[in-house]
Amino acid sequence: MKFLYYLFSILPSTIHYFISDILFFFISFFYRKKVVKKNLLNSFPDLSKNKIKEIIKLFYKNLCDVFIETIRGYSISKKELKSRVKYKNIEHINNHIKNNERLILITSHQCNWEWLLVSLEINLVSNVHAIYKKLSSNIFDQIMYKGRSKFGTLLIEDRKVVKFLKNNLDSVKALVIAADQSPGFKNTKIWTKMLNQDTAFFQGIELLPKITSSIVYFMSMKRIKRGKYIIEFKHLSSPPYDKNKTEILPLYASTVEDLINERPHEWLWSHKRWKLKKAIK
């Protein structure tokens, strides 16, 4: 399986995007269509039906490209990745690292978040640590782990991150979190409004910057054209923090919301983001 995955990853980009177009034609008819439509209608109640249909179409195009580019990322070279993913103001981040300031870099599932992670490692002056959720399939988990860590990114399983940071904090200079995932029923969670809905988030988005005294930046990714992206960093917050106040999550949620409003088709609408409902007190 791993060898077949590798063989597919080394095909020319023209073939990859041809396959992406074929995938789009098929999966746009059935893959989580009800979830995508429901999420969009609840998030944009004032948009017309035609506009919602347009976003859905562009979303599936983006999703297929991300899928194919993720496979491409398994064998992509540093040179090719640097030509495809550019950084607008990464010197600010590298200056923090050079000044021995710890960073938490928060992002969302927008554009190609997989290429964002692997390209970051080859553009920073230190190693990147990233939180990841283990996949249920061992084979695909191994494939994704290898692809994400191929240039040296150090991956930390989500359920082990607090223990890891307690024991290895001095080695962590830049920690990456894709913080818009939906927590499970048993996870400790915090709530805020996003896209007109009560939205649950993992507690770590608020807790980790405070226990590590880290400066927080948001990483936004924009598609310039097919297979070409640019990433920009936006400062969200800096220590000292008030441990009794929720101060980072609202900034993150509003930043993600602004990004989605600007380019709605680039976000991961097929995720069951609002499966949890806030209890009414």
- Residue by residue, pLDDT tens for the chain (281 residues) are 888 999 999 999 999 999 999 999 999 888 999 999 999 999 999 999 999 999 999 999 999 999 999 999 999 999 999 999 999 999 999 999 999 999 999 999 999 999 999 999 999 999 999 999 999 899 999 999 999 999 999 999 998 999 999 999 999 999 999 999 988 888 889 999 999 999 999 999 999 999 999 999 999 999 999 999 999 999 999 999 998 899 999 999 999 999 999 999 999 999 999 999 887 76
86 domain residue, yes or no: yes
280 inside domain: no
The answer as to whether 158 is a domain residue is yes
Q: What is the sign, positive or negative, of the torsion defined by CA atoms of 182, 244, 177, 137? A: negative
Q: How many domains does the chain have?
A: 1
One-letter identity of residue 251: L
User: Distance between CA atoms of 234 and 259, rounded to whole angstroms?
Assistant: 12
Range of the domain at 119: 2-266
User: Is 224:84 a contact under the CB 8 Å cutoff?
Assistant: no
End-to-end Cα spacing for the chain: 50
How high is the pLDDT of residue 281? 60
Residue 273 lies in a domain: no
In a domain? residue 14: yes
- pLDDT of 278: 85
State whether the Cα torsion 205-206-210-211 is positive or negative. Answer: negative
User: 87 phi and psi, to 5 degrees?
Assistant: -120, 135
Q: Is residue 271 in some structural domain?
A: no
Residue 279 lies in a domain: no
The Cα angle at residue 200 between residues 167 and 270, in degrees rounded to 5:
105
